[in-house]
Amino acid sequence: MTHLASAGVAALHRLLAQHRDSGTTLRLYAPVGGAADMIMSLVQMAHETSDPDYPRPPVG
């Protein structure tokens, strides 16, 4: 994703509210420095910046 418009932000806020109301968790992923990360940080939307599908191998 290279663009996150205000309509997309509003849709994510609605989805987050729906999950919160139903007692479930919606995990959002936006790579560090990308447009989605910058916008989600700006609007204080909780999101992960490391890809949950590709965990890093243990160090050591």
**Could you report the per-residue pLDDT of 1-59, keeping only the tens digit for each?**
456 688 888 999 999 999 999 999 999 999 999 888 999 999 999 999 988 888 766 77
Residue 26 backbone phi and psi in degrees, to 5: -105, 120
Element (H, E) at 28: none
The whole-number pLDDT of residue 42 equals 92
The whole-number pLDDT of residue 3 equals 64
Cβ contacts of residue 56 below 8 Å, gap of 6+?
A: 50
Q: Which among 30, 33, 24 has a CA at the least distance from the CA of 52?
A: 30
